[in-house]
Amino acid sequence: MTVQPKVLFLGIGALVLIAVGSIVAVLLTSGDAKPATTAPATFALRGTVVVNCPSTCSGYSDITVGSQVEVLNQHNEVLAVGQLESGYNPQKNTNGVSPDYVFMIPVVPRGQGLYGVHIGNANRGVIWKPESDAATTGFQLIVADLGELAAKWLTGEITYQPAYDGDRPDEETNHFAQVLAEVNRAGYFTYFSQPGVALTDGYGQRAAVAGWCNEDFLATLKAVAYGTPVCVISIPPASASEAQIVVTMDAGDEYTWIGQAYQPDDGNYSNDLHPTAVSTLHASWQVHIFDPEWGRDDLLWRVLRITAAHAAPAP
């Protein structure tokens, strides 16, 4: 059995933050002298938060109208605060369930080097940008970029994978690596996977996968898995779970479990990834999937392939 982390992907559709700062130059004139431009000491920070939900936004109660928005410096000192306001876009969310939120913080001091934005509870982390981006292009999380990199690593197109000691997946992954690539592209970043191995002489495995996704992917997965033996465990963003379901036996002893929430900043991800990516994982659903029958090694991959086909973003 090999614990196989896959690459992070930014956003997973759970939380997208775009912030744009505006700068107004001050012109000073004296007689016929040429105007002088003085850079302002502050800038205004604007942003939009999009929470994608297929039905109800469970797990996002801390992201709502009135939620505090904090702007931090690289020492985690609060520079300015604001709050979320409703920015609902009916053209994007026709069912009225998935609102957009907006914020504007008019006075943010310059000269801090790095700027972070924190929204919601403490577990959601901070999204960081240098001043040049915070005041111009702003904060942007892209949903599919790193999911695409994960797929390329799984299919051998690239050889580096954060938080993984090796340039290729373990050999036991070969026969379902393409399925994992498809679900990573569709919005499910996987950090653990293993095939089913028949239980013999105290050793065996249940086919299992664990990772992070947004609520849209989770809803599609549940719909596809409904009526099959495949079990889906979903843990809301920034939530804990102490469940332990054994998926590997070794010499008659329980060896590997799923069901317990994995904190991305407890492991190598926090060392290998930018804080933006770690924060994105905190804002995503953690989903563990397994086939309860020891040794069966086809059903889970069929369920995931169908899910990927239905959940994949439109071109």
Could you say which of 79, 104, 134 is where a domain stops?
A: 134
Residue 97 maps to a domain = yes
Say whether pLDDT at 121 is over 60. Answer: yes
- Dihedral angle sign, alpha carbons of residues 80, 86, 90, 94: positive
Residue 70 maps to a domain = yes
Q: What is the pTM of this model?
A: 0.57
Q: Are both 127 and 149 inside the same structural domain?
A: no
pLDDT in tens, 161-200: 667 777 788 889 999 999 999 998 888 988 899 999 999 9
Q: Are both 96 and 227 inside the same structural domain?
A: no
Q: Are both 126 and 203 inside the same structural domain?
A: no
Q: Are both 265 and 169 inside the same structural domain?
A: yes
Domain that holds residue 51: 16-134
Confidence of residue 272 (pLDDT cuts 50, 70, 90): low
Q: Are both 36 and 166 inside the same structural domain?
A: no
pLDDT in tens, 129-143: 788 877 876 664 333
Q: Are both 181 and 115 inside the same structural domain?
A: no
Q: Are both 115 and 217 inside the same structural domain?
A: no
Residue 43 maps to a domain = yes
Q: Are both 107 and 253 inside the same structural domain?
A: no
Say whether pLDDT at 92 is over 60. Answer: no
Indicate the Cα dihedral angle 235, 238, 240, 241, nearest 10°.
10
Q: Are both 156 and 297 inside the same structural domain?
A: yes
Say whether pLDDT at 119 is over 70. Answer: yes
Could you say which of 134, 165, 187 is where a domain stops?
A: 134
- Residue 268 has a pLDDT of 67
List the CATH number of the domain containing 127: 2.60.40
Residue 75 maps to a domain = yes
Say whether pLDDT at 93 is over 50. Answer: no
CB 196 within 8 A of CB 296: yes
Residue 1 maps to a domain = no
Query: How does 105-124 read in b/e, with b if 16+ C-beta sit within 10 Å?
Result: beebebebebbbbbbbeeeb
Residue 41 maps to a domain = yes
- The mean pLDDT of the chain is 76
Confidence of residue 278 (pLDDT cuts 50, 70, 90): confident
- Residue 311 has a pLDDT of 84
Q: Are both 300 and 236 inside the same structural domain?
A: yes
| Structural domains counted in the chain | 2
- Residue 46 has a pLDDT of 80
Burial, 303: exposed, middle or buried (Cβ in 10 Å; 0-12, 13-18, 19+)? Answer: buried
Residue 6 maps to a domain = no
More confidently predicted of 116 and 315: 116
Confidence of residue 77 (pLDDT cuts 50, 70, 90): very high
More confidently predicted of 51 and 106: 106
Residue 3 maps to a domain = no
Confidence of residue 209 (pLDDT cuts 50, 70, 90): very high
More confidently predicted of 62 and 235: 235
pLDDT in tens, 237-264: 888 888 899 999 999 999 999 998 888 7
Q: Are both 127 and 261 inside the same structural domain?
A: no
d(CA 220, CA 302): 14
